Structure 1
Amino acid sequence: MTPVGTEQELADRVLGGWLGRIAGNMLGKPVEQGDLWTRDRIDRYLRRAAALPLTDYLPEPPPGDDEGFELRPEWRSCVRGRIHGSCRDDDVDYAILGLDLLETHGFGFSTEQVGDLWLLRLPYLQTFTAERAAYRNLANGLKPPLTATFDNPHQEWIGALIRADIFGWTCPGLPHRAASLARRDAVLSHTGNGVYGAMWAAALVSAAFTAPTVRQALTEALTVIPASSRLARTVRRVISLHDTRLSWEDTLTTVSEETAGLGWIHTVPNAAVLTAGLLYGDGDFTRTITLTVRGGLDTDSNGATAGSVAGILTGAEAIPAQWQDPLEDTVRSAVFGFDGVRISELAERTLQLVGSE
């Protein structure tokens, strides 16, 4: 977890971010339904499958299951032993779309250009919650910021946060610049803590390139959002509980009680799960993504962001083979023109943008 020194080191860590995002997303995808797959239910499933401690992708359902452990329908292509390249998922689609945005319009892109690219590259039925509301508003001729506020009950949900990694990957060690780019993207579909979540995540990813510890990266990321926001207060709360040496389980129990009622896709409780996974994972790639996914809520989104940060901290070469090899350097994507693209190509194209104006 040393600052980036050489171009080769930077390349390894950008690739680590992409691999980590995709692996963490795949890990959490089978249990992505936070109102059903609670933290307790996930661990009961893992115990039944003799998969605790979790050190690999989720196991498939054990034979003769009579406890109703029904995974998401996509599980057959994203559990251990069945993975051949990444599954398609919006958590990866938006990273690809963000890369296309920066390649097409540069770092001076406008929010309107983000919307135009959605309409051009992204199928409507592969958008969800706030993004689908914004897409519908775009198709009906509305312009930002009305695209985020008109008939959109999901304005503070996690969608903008999952779009933010590309801005951190392309601005290593520049968290404020990364946050500014993420904000310009986020206001197409989100307001309030939804926008702050994107800014915080972009800054966190950026800071991971140069911060000496994950704790320091989290602290730096907080500087880009209002200290009085509920998001900032919740992240600081998790950090303070970790500092008291409270267990991971007790920390999540405490914070889940304090954020009760926000729902399992809201930015704030998911940021708490993500922060806890990063802190208690303490820079270890496997421990970070498995703790984050075991924390529940929006498991694939949280796993993806945790994996991105952890992959940057370790670099691609240090990500264990059980996470990398099944991906076969291949991404399935709904973004037009990108299905089947190589992960290594995405990382190389990302690296080419670093230092651009």
Structure 2
Amino acid sequence: MTELGSGYSSHFHDAMQPVNLLVDEVRQRRETGYDVDALVQEANRTDPGDRDAVLDLVDRMSLAQRLPGWTYVEPDGLGDIEDTLDGRPAASAVPEAELTDRIGAGWLGRIAGCNLGKPVESGDYWTTDRIRDYLKLADAYPLRDYVPVLDPMPDGFRLVPCWPETTRGNVHGSARDDDIDYAILALHLLETHGDELRTEDVGRAWTRLFPIEQVYTAERAAYLNLVNGFTVPEAARRRNPYREWIGAQIRGDVFGYVHAGDPWSAAQLSYRDAALSHVGNGIYGEMWAAALVAAAFTASSPREVVERATGVVPPESRLAEALRDVLALYDSQVAWEVALGRVQERYGHYSWVHTINNAAIVALALLWSEDDWMTGVGRVVMSGWDTDSNGATVGSVLGVLTGTRGLPEHMIAPLEDRTRSALFGFDHARISDLAERTVRLAVQRRR
């Protein structure tokens, strides 16, 4: 296999940088079974500073041929996805009296979990080992509170720049984060369009409400395509090597809140959101996340949540394979640390912001949460990779599953019932107001 030369590197995965697009497109193509060796050889004869030539190489990656032996079935269309499933997950009724508490707990759990993971959100640097070593130095292992700040900071450690507002003793209201922005946007979209929401509506909301530098990877690539006149489905595919990364998976929770107890309806609606920027496993990640949340309203255990939600994922996809692996590890009764090591060994070749590996450790943390919010969220953050996104998802699901009684006060009180947002017109939102508006939508659709 031919490798790209030293002139090509992608540390920031920025869709506005042609070299980043080329490096990451080569990786995406190879992960999905395509032969791109000839194009890589051509790239090594091309000046990395020649923008037009590099973009031409990126575009011609779409002509690559898939190598023999690819056995996964990973459709993009909703109808094709449904055709692969062994029936839709059944819907269960949620007593209306429970919606307020559980939806409120979901919002609070999501926002607290996001903030917990933010100071160590850099998966290439903040590995599991480095997180563990830092927390042990701080006498904070296992993680049961916001990440502490060591002063002076020991050699070999550096927290993410947001640390002054996301670490222990420094949280005074929620910091701004795209994991929170997308939840607020989903609420706005459903208030505006309801279940008639279309993918095109999502795109218009992005370009109207989001600054482009506050969206990342697949979302930034799709945004650029939209402003350059490309429409669905091309917006998700053109010059977008991040189309199976975690960006869509962080956008699904509110669809699950509104479709409480109905994983398939939540997944269907979230599909319309995901298809703007993602394909294949990227789409399935958001459908699965929405289904996780919806299933948590009526499930009796985290295992039931994970199992029911996995029913919306094409069974012959790589994501479904990874989720089945995690369920099998849980059923084998190995310790969490052992299971985490096996998941990292099997799926650590993906980018630290890919859907498949992050979904696997989300499932892992839920299954090994011991029915305790702090244990589950702490474990997913200690697992590394996309710590704030995964903390948000696990925090949301366990918040719904346990209700507000299961949320630790020391994690919730510092949020002060408010969150920042980069969405135009939505900054300084009250978390309780977001929850109340979500409850209204959930109640309205039942009538």
Q: TM-score range by the shorter chain?
A: over 0.9
Listed as ranges, the matches of 1:317-332 within 5 Å are 317-332=405-420
| 1:310-340 deviation per Cα after TM superposition (whole angstroms, max 9, x unaligned) | 1001112331111110000001001111111
Q: Which residue number corresponds to residue 284 of structure 1? A: 372
| 1:3-62 deviation per Cα after TM superposition (whole angstroms, max 9, x unaligned) | 8754342100000000010000000000000010001110100000010122111101x2
* Equivalent of residue 106 in structure 2, options 17, 29, 34: 17
Mapped partners of 1:5, 1:124: distance in 2: 38
Change in Cα spacing, 1:5 to 1:150, as seen in structure 2 (3 Å) is closer
Listed as ranges, the matches of 1:309-348 within 5 Å are 309-348=397-436
How far did 1:67 drift?
A: 2.2
Q: Which residue number corresponds to residue 58 of structure 1? A: 147
Indicate whether 1:234 and 2:326 are aligned: no
Q: Which residue number corresponds to residue 172 of structure 1? A: 260
Q: Which residue number corresponds to residue 105 of structure 1? A: 193
| 1:71-125 deviation per Cα after TM superposition (whole angstroms, max 9, x unaligned) | 0000010001011000000000000000000011111111001000111111111
Amino acid at match of 1:41: R
Indicate whether 1:223 and 2:223 are aligned: no
Amino acid at match of 1:159: G
Q: Which residue number corresponds to residue 77 of structure 1? A: 165
3-state SS of paired residue (1:354): helix
3-state SS of paired residue (1:85): coil
How far did 1:255 drift?
A: 1.5
Change in Cα spacing, 1:247 to 1:180, as seen in structure 2 (3 Å) is same
3-state SS of paired residue (2:139): coil
Which structure has the bigger radius of gyration?
2
* Equivalent of residue 230 in structure 2, options 139, 142, 149: 142
Q: Which residue number corresponds to residue 43 of structure 1? A: 132
3-state SS of paired residue (1:337): coil
3-state SS of paired residue (2:366): helix
Amino acid at match of 1:198: E
Mapped contact 2:171–2:414 kept (Cα < 8 A)? yes
Mapped contact 1:12–1:317 kept (Cα < 8 A)? no
How far did 1:250 drift?
A: 1.2
Amino acid at match of 1:247: A
| 1:325-357 deviation per Cα after TM superposition (whole angstroms, max 9, x unaligned) | 000000100111111110000000001111445
Amino acid at match of 1:102: L
Mapped partners of 2:411, 2:252: distance in 1: 22
Mapped partners of 2:96, 2:264: distance in 1: 22
Amino acid at match of 1:46: L
RMSD, aligned CA: 1.2
Indicate whether 1:154 and 2:277 are aligned: no
Normalised to the residue count of structure 2, the TM-score between the two structures is 0.78
Amino acid at match of 1:192: G
Q: Which residue number corresponds to residue 273 of structure 2? A: 185
3-state SS of paired residue (1:19): helix
* Equivalent of residue 29 in structure 1, options 118, 122, 130: 118
Amino acid at match of 1:214: P
Amino acid at match of 2:323: V
Normalised to the residue count of structure 1, the TM-score between the two structures is 0.97
Amino acid at match of 1:7: E
| 1:225-277 deviation per Cα after TM superposition (whole angstroms, max 9, x unaligned) | 11111101101101111111111111111111111321101000001111111
Greater length-normalized contact order (CA 8 Å, ≥ 6 residues apart): 1
Mapped partners of 2:245, 2:266: distance in 1: 20
Mapped partners of 2:163, 2:189: distance in 1: 31
How far did 1:68 drift?
A: 2.1
Mapped contact 1:173–1:208 kept (Cα < 8 A)? yes
Q: Which residue number corresponds to residue 353 of structure 1? A: 441
3-state SS of paired residue (2:250): helix
| 1:152-198 deviation per Cα after TM superposition (whole angstroms, max 9, x unaligned) | 01000000000000100100000000000111110100001000101
Mapped partners of 1:125, 1:5: distance in 2: 39
Amino acid at match of 2:190: L
Mapped partners of 1:243, 1:88: distance in 2: 38
3-state SS of paired residue (2:156): coil
* Equivalent of residue 262 in structure 1, options 350, 357, 380: 350
Moved more, 309-318 or 36-45: 309-318
Mapped contact 1:17–1:310 kept (Cα < 8 A)? yes
Indicate whether 1:211 and 2:335 are aligned: no
3-state SS of paired residue (2:261): coil
